[in-house]
Each structure stands twice: as structure tokens, then as C-alpha cells.
Structure 1
Amino acid sequence: MAQATLRNVRYAGMATCVPKRILSNLDDCPPQLKSARERVVRNIGIETRRICFEWQCFSDLAFDATERLLEELKWERDEIDALIVITQSPDYPIPATAIIMQDRLKLKQTTIAFDINLGCSAYAFGLHVLGSMISAGGIKKGLLLVGDKSATVLEPLFSDAGTCTALEYDPAAPPMHFDLNSDGSGYRAIMLPVGGGREPVGLQHMVPVKDEDGIWRSKGALILDGPAVLSFSTQRVPPAVRNLLDYAECPIEAIDYFIFHQANRMINETIRKKLGLAPEKVPTTLHDFGNTSGASLPVTMTVRIRDALMAGKKKLLLSGFGIGLSWGSCIVDIEGAVFPELIES
């Protein structure tokens, strides 16, 4: 358990972009998979998802989100000192997507730009990394781009999104509190087994095999151990949230909204009930947007509580968990921040 407090860092704004293309798990599936999809909607809670067009990358969504956010913040591009991209869907294996985005966004060449490879827990980790750089005093304004392109037509869980969050140095800003954790012994629970140095892609990985649900998958497809993820999430997240509240000396009643990673309705409901939270304090976007990986926290903030965030000061507890295995939470006070309406690209 790594806990930390960051000072002098203001949450200035956030924008979310999703593809215009919508897939229905009930209507846009082969007839033989209809009953399986009905179970997904009933048990997991995902009915519709957003999927990129063939020509779109995650970075295209993040670019549109960044352009809108900079416009509404009225930030000059030569003010941006750092650009961090967290994704598992880079434009290319090399170079880093952040380097490409620095030029595409016409940021100055002295802008620090780099990628982080992380998924479901990305948002809390990313706020800590960028916030730490700003808190140290050398960086005044920075951008955090988080999201993935992970949706496919046949797979019913994942959805695509790109987000941009702006942080800036402000000695008057309230502190941000973090609790960040990882357990690599469970890395096989969610993994893409081929394509890296351990097992490069070969022809044998391209051959599809019919699984127990009647879906044809290649041997190089994503491995997702549902029971292991369920056990990990429901056992690790509630005590981590309590630990963070204790560390921050913040009563649970002081949190206006708890935003959890949107992976599975059963997981999120179990976490909510274990923490004794009222449903209205735990907004969800699973039904309409599916699992948007690291972007699920900002997606939910934009879609569900944007008006509340713009109406006055709010204290949020943000918690992401999953691939790694990793889990991270943070408490953030938001006041006077900019939140553009949901962007569809």
C-alpha cells in the first residue's frame, strides 16, 4: 500500500470523447449468440458500447478531447509543460504516442512527453504521476490523456474512449490523497499473451478456435479470468477505499460521489454494498458505455455528474482496478473546473 498526499495541484478540467458508432449487445450480434448476450446485459449490465471506426485510433479520440478542453480552458499551447499518455492501444509499438501527440497538438518542444502502459487503474496512477511533477514545482501546467481502443464487434464487454485531464500548479489548491497498489502475481488474470518479447506473434496465433460460448477466437486473443477478477476486485477495493479515507482523515459522509471503474455490475454493486454507499452517490455508465478501460472514471464523470461538478465544490473518491493486477484510488476536490459536454467523434 503506497499512500501519498500531493499539494499545490489544482484539477483544472477534463474532457471525454467517444466514437459516434454505437453497438448493441442485443441487436448487433449473430442470432446464435442472442441468449449469451442477454445474459451479459442481465448479469454484467452492458447493453450498448462505443466502437471506433476502422480508421480511428485511441489517440484520435484523445486529440479531439484535448482540443476542446484547451479551447474551453483558454490555455495557450506554449503553457503546457508536460503531456502524459496512458493507454494499452498506442498508435505504434514505438515511438511513444505522447511524442506523436506533442507534435500533433502543436505543443512546444520543451514539453515533457511520455507513455505509461496501464489499463483499468490508469486514472488514479496518472493523476499521481502528473500531479507529483507539478507538486515538485518545476511544471506549471500538464495534460493527462487516458483511454483505449479495445472494442470489437463480437466481444461484448469493451468500449472505446479517449479523455484529457488538465492539472495546474496552484498553492491554494486543496490536497489530493492517493492509495496505489499492485500485485503482479495475478498478472495472468487479464492478459494479452502474444505480441511481446515472451511470445511473438506467429501464424499459429491467427487460427480461430470455437470456444464454449460458440465464439471463434484466435489463440492470441485477450485472456480474461472472470472469477479471478471478481474475487480480486471485491476483496481488495473496499479495504483500499477505507484505508484511503483513514489516511486522508476524511469521513465517508464527506465524499459527494464515489466513481468506480466500470467493469461489471456485480462487482460494482458488491463494492458499493460492502462500503455501505447509497446508489445515488455511485454513478454508473456500464449500461450505455460498457467497459472503457482506464477512461471509465472520466467517462462516468462527464456523462453522469458533469452538471454537479460545474455547479459548485465537490469531493470525489475515484477508484480504478484491474489489469496488472493493480488498484488505485484518490480523493480529489473539484471546484471551478471546466467540463465540456461529451464529445462524439
Structure 2
Amino acid sequence: MNPLNTPAGKHVRVDHVALRGVVSASPRTEVRNQDLTDRFSPELIEEIGKMTGVRARRVAAENQTTSDLAEAAARELLADLGWEADSVDALVFVSQTPDYRLPATACALQSRLQLGTHCAAFDVNLGCSGYVYGLWLASRLIDGHAVKRVLLLAGDTSSKLVNPDDRATALLFGDAGTATALEYDANAPATPYVLGTDGRGEMNLIIPKSTYRGACGTTPALPESHPDYLYMNGPEVFNFTIRSVPLMVNAVLEGAGKTVNDIGAALFHQANAFMLKHIAKKLKLPAEKFPLNIDRFGNTSSATIPLLMSTMEDRQALAGDVVMAGFGVGYSWAAALVSLQQMRVCRWVEV
């Protein structure tokens, strides 16, 4: 086996990249689980809340898209950092809820943010693992000397994808958009990544009525699912996560010669509180290094990790190295050991 390829995933390293700032944007509208008693019984709401950890979520307005949230976050970030719009060399938009089938939402955001026409812009269709994959892609552009500054915009408005009567998803998913600034820095420490995919899980987290697959008459039939809405096979996703995430996190730490004692925090995709606490126990992570915000924001897909950073009360935990781990739809997973010593901006806004 190639030493870079392990059961945990592919091991890669990126040099000379500094994460300068993160701004996360949430919709102003808060929906509490207890507000949904017209659809679900109080007993069921309490049961699901205990399992998922979700007590409230931010939900986008009918005319508010992921790009609107990401744009607001990006404007705040550029202003906070003092970056001129023309200084941004690339824009990467990570989302599974783009504005259009085409053109790429990244192109629209380049115009709306008034970035230079020299700016490369493209979309990445990833969900739960998307933020860490986006960091890797943006960093490789910089490490490869193609660009010096990159805006990574990641987020989803998953509330628009769920069946409002589906107990498995309606009480779980929230909305958010985020912006992360990355820049070339010759003195930045190396960032190790572990990346992996197992497409055998494609049917376990899916919107069955895909535009083109459905047009071919081959929309998959799944139990108790509506083809137009998000379907989640909770037990299978749980088993995948418990199996894959500890392996991935240990691999990225071992590759860097670190242990959980050497990190300030483990920033995990906010998928399900019960599942995350189980993983933390397996990894022997103390509670103070394992922040959660799923109770306030729900599962915001590709936005969860930067949103977690932006809303953490203990900012001292972000002063050094942190592990970031994304995992889910695909199946897809990615982890990184990221230095935040050079991060100058980290905040949350409502729009």
C-alpha cells in the first residue's frame, strides 16, 4: 500500500498557507423545536431533541439563498481584514444548495462582491465534508503558487430540502453561510489532511429525484421517502460515522506526530449530538476540547465547522492547533490539523 493511502484515507500536506479569518452568517429567523407542535407531538419532539441535541435552528427566508448568506459573511470578512476586493485571486463556493443549476454560483458571487475579473471562481458540490475539502482545495491553489489570496465560501440552506413532515430531517437541519480567508505565508506551518470517499453510501443521504437521473426514468425508490425531498437513512449514516471518524481523526493526529493533548479543540461537523459524544468518548476527548453548537443552530451541512468557530465562547481554544473533521453525505470525509495562530477575525453575524 502507498504510505500516503491508508484505510482512514489519503494523507496529504499543504505548506505556506495561513487562515486569516472566518465570518459566519445565520438567518435572523429562529425556529425552536417546540414551535412545531402542530406537526409533531411534544413527546416526539422531546425524544428527537434528546437524540440529536437540536433545540432550535436558524431558517432562511423564502427569498433568501445560501449565496445571500455567504455574500454577507464575505463582505464583513473583507472589511474586517482590510482586503481590497481586487486582491482576491480565487473564490471557491462549497454548497449543495446553489442558486442555479447553471451558471456556477461562484461566478455570480464574484460579480456581487465586485472581485476582479482575474479572479478564478468555481463551485464544489459537497455537503458535510465540504468545508475541510474546501480548505484543502483553496490551500492547494495557494501552495501551488497559482494564487496568493482565496475566499472560501461554504454553506447550505438545507431547510429548503427537507420534507416538513419528516421526523428524521425536519427537526435537524438549519441554514448558514460562511466566509473564510486564506493567504500565502512563507512562515505558515504545514497543514496535514486526511481525505476519503466511499460512494457505496450514496443512497443513504440523498434527494432521490435528481434532475438528470430522474429524467432517465431511474429515480431510486427508497422506503418512506418523497423523491423531491432529502432522504436520510439514519442508522446507516450513524454506523458509517462511528466507523470512520475516529479512524480519520487518529490518522491526521498521528501523521502530524500529535495527540489530543496537543490540540486546543476538536471542531467536528455538527451532525448529531449523541453521535458526536460517542465519538469524543472513543477518542478520549475532554469536554472542554469538544465544543458543540448543534443545540442552537442544528445541522448546517458544509457551514457547521466555521459556524462553530464563530460562535465558540472559549476563544482561547482557537489560539493554536485544532482538528477539523467533516463527514457524511457521499459518503465523504476529511480531517485536517489546522493552525489558527494567524487568524485575525472570527465572528458571527445575523442577516
The bucket for the TM-score relative to the shorter chain is over 0.9
What residue number does 2:41 align with?
33
- Runs of 4+ residues over 6 Å off in structure 1: none
Structure 1 pair 327–31 and aligned structure 2 pair: CA distance change class (3 A): closer
**Which residue is equivalent to 2:326?**
320
Q: Give CA deviations for 1:256-302 in whole Å, capped at 9, x if unaligned.
A: 10011111111101110000110110000111100000110011111
Distance 1:306 1:294, change over 3 A: farther
Quote the residue 2:174 is aligned against: 159
Aligned length: 333
| Aligned-pair identity (%) | 35
Show the counterpart of 1:86: 94
Partner amino acid, structure 2, of 1:3: H
User: Alpha carbons of 1:49 and 1:287: their partners in 2 closer, same or farther (altered >3 Å)?
Assistant: same
Distance 2:125 2:39 in 1: 37
Aligned residue number for residue 214 of structure 1:
none
TM-fit CA distance, 1:236: 0.5
1:74 Cα shift?
A: 0.2
The letter of the residue matching 2:138 is L
Cα pair distance change 1:31/1:192, threshold 3 Å:
closer
Distance 2:234 2:141 in 1: 36
Alpha-carbon separation, structure 2, partners of 1:99 and 1:201: 29
1:305 to partner: Cα distance: 4.8
Aligned position for 1:337: 343
What is the aligned counterpart of 1:262 among 250, 266, 270?
270
2:137 to 112, 123, 129: 129
Q: Which moved more, 1:54-63 or 1:244-253?
A: 244-253
Is 1:309–1:334's contact at 8 Å kept on the other side of the alignment? no
SS of the residue corresponding to residue 284 of structure 1 reads: coil
- Pick from 177, 185, 192: which aligns with 2:192? 177
Between the aligned partners of 1:84 and 1:286, the Cα distance in structure 2 is 25
AA at the equivalent of 1:262: Q
The one of 2, 13, 32 aligned to 2:21: 13
Q: 1:199 maps to what in 2?
A: 214
How big is each residue's C-alpha offset from its partner over 1:32-86, in whole Å with a ceiling of 9 and x where there is no partner? 4322211111111101000001110000000000000000000011110000000
The one of 307, 312, 316 aligned to 1:299: 307
CA change 1:342–1:201 in 2 (3 A) is: farther
Deviation at 1:28, TM superposition (A): 3.2
Contact kept in structure 1, 2:246 and 2:282, CA below 8 Å: yes
Q: TM-score, normalised by structure 1?
A: 0.92
Q: Which residue of 2 aligns with 1:168?
A: 183
**Superimposed CA distance per residue, residues 192-232 of structure 1 (whole angstroms, 9 cap, x where no aligned partner):** 11132111499x99xxxx96xxxxx7332211000001100
Partners in 2 of 1:159 and 1:201 — Cα distance?
Answer: 32
What CA distance in whole angstroms lies between the structure 2 residues aligned with 1:318 and 1:261? Answer: 8
Structural mapping, 1:42-61, within 5 Å: 42-61=50-69
Q: Distance in 1 between matches of 2:81 and 2:314?
A: 16
Q: Quote the Cα distance in structure 2 between the aligned partners of 1:97 and 1:32.
A: 35
Unpaired runs of 5+ residues, structure 1, are 212-216
Would the aligned equivalents of 1:84 and 1:114 in 2 still touch at CA under 8 Å? yes
- Give the aligned CA root-mean-square deviation in angstroms: 1.9
Q: Secondary structure at the match of 2:192?
A: strand
Alignment of 1:139 with 2:154, yes or no, is: no
Query: 1:89/1:264 Cα in 2 relative to 1: closer, same or farther (>3 Å)?
Result: same
Shift of 1:246: 1.1
Give the letter aligned to residue 74 of structure 2: T
Do the aligned residues in 2 keep the contact of 1:17 with 1:344 (CA within 8 Å)?
yes
Structure 2 contact 22–347 (Cα < 8 Å) conserved = no
SS, match of residue 212 in structure 2 = coil
1:218 aligned counterpart, secondary structure: coil
Partners of 2:37 and 2:214 lie apart in 1 by 32
